[in-house]
Amino acid sequence: MVVVVEGVRLHLSHPVEYAAEWIGQEEVMRELLAAWMALGEDDLPMNPRITGKPGVGKTTLAYAAAKRLGREAYIMQGTVDTRPEDLIVQPVVEGPGTLKYVASPLATAMLRGGVAILDEANRMPEKSWASLAPLLDSRRYVESVVAGIKIPAHPEFRLVCTMNEDASTFDLPEYIFSRLQPQIHIDFPEESEEKAILRQNLPMAEEDVISLVSEFLQSAHGSDEPYTVRDGIHVGRYAMRLLEAKRAPDLEHAIRHAIRQVLGEDALRHVL
């Protein structure tokens, strides 16, 4: 799809479509949807940030919330080398002496009235954040230096950032941090919720697999280890393959071997 902004043709990005269901922790879903509300024509939605350990479901929550609103979802991955033009508009060589301008997923969401998810946003450098400052306040626009245009946000546009809690991330500058409110924190799910997530992502697994992986995760959570349900899904998937390939004599050995290979030797102390 192509749209024209201030006389410049922009080729839009495609929305993301995949199967994702938010299981449990309904309170954080309600908090996110509340932050996106506009309480009248003169009110603006907020720009929340979702925090938590890697693998607890931050992106899944954001995507599932977009789907509950019936909106298109666009995901951008934050990295240490993300540039302002990566976030807004990029020029692409279309032919000899010809350029076309491609709107980023973020800019496309702004134009289409979709939901933009800045994933692992606190990996981005300050220069990139500075280009988004006008979008995060009452101005609600971004400027593309490359294309020489100003892109306004559609009234239905919504933004959310996911942020990991680890040592590989940047501290946000205060003028950006103050614009990304409120903070919505995701913790480890309850045991019953965790089992439901495992069942959803391991549809071929017997209940014994789900139980052993859940017991391992619950023990790790009790010791404040960073292992998440995403780690458990990897463990379960690999364990089932080890059994199928006859590389383990039984399920318990397969689970132990999978934990060792996925998470390392130290993780085995949480095997009950």
**Total residues found in the chain within this entry:** 272
Using the predicted structure, report yes or no on whether residue 167 has a pLDDT greater than 70: no
Just give the CATH number of 2-185. 3.40.50.300
* Confidence at residue 96, expressed as pLDDT on a 0 to 100 scale: 78
Mean of per-residue pLDDT scores for the chain: 94
Neighbouring CB atoms inside 10 A of 7's CB total: 8
* Confidence at residue 146, expressed as pLDDT on a 0 to 100 scale: 92
Q: What is the mean pLDDT of residues 32-58?
A: 95
| Beta-sheet strands, E only, within the chain | 2-5, 8-11, 49-52, 73-77, 89-95, 98-103, 115-119, 141-144, 149-152, 158-164, 183-185
First to last CA, the chain: 54
Q: What is the mean pLDDT of residues 7-13?
A: 95
* Confidence at residue 74, expressed as pLDDT on a 0 to 100 scale: 98
41 pLDDT band (50/70/90 cuts)? confident
Measured CA to CA, the distance from residue 27 to residue 25 in angstroms comes to: 5
* Confidence at residue 229, expressed as pLDDT on a 0 to 100 scale: 95
* Confidence at residue 168, expressed as pLDDT on a 0 to 100 scale: 66
* Confidence at residue 191, expressed as pLDDT on a 0 to 100 scale: 94
Using the predicted structure, report yes or no on whether residue 185 has a pLDDT greater than 80: yes
Q: What is the mean pLDDT of residues 67-94?
A: 94
Contact 142, 132 (CB under 8 A): yes
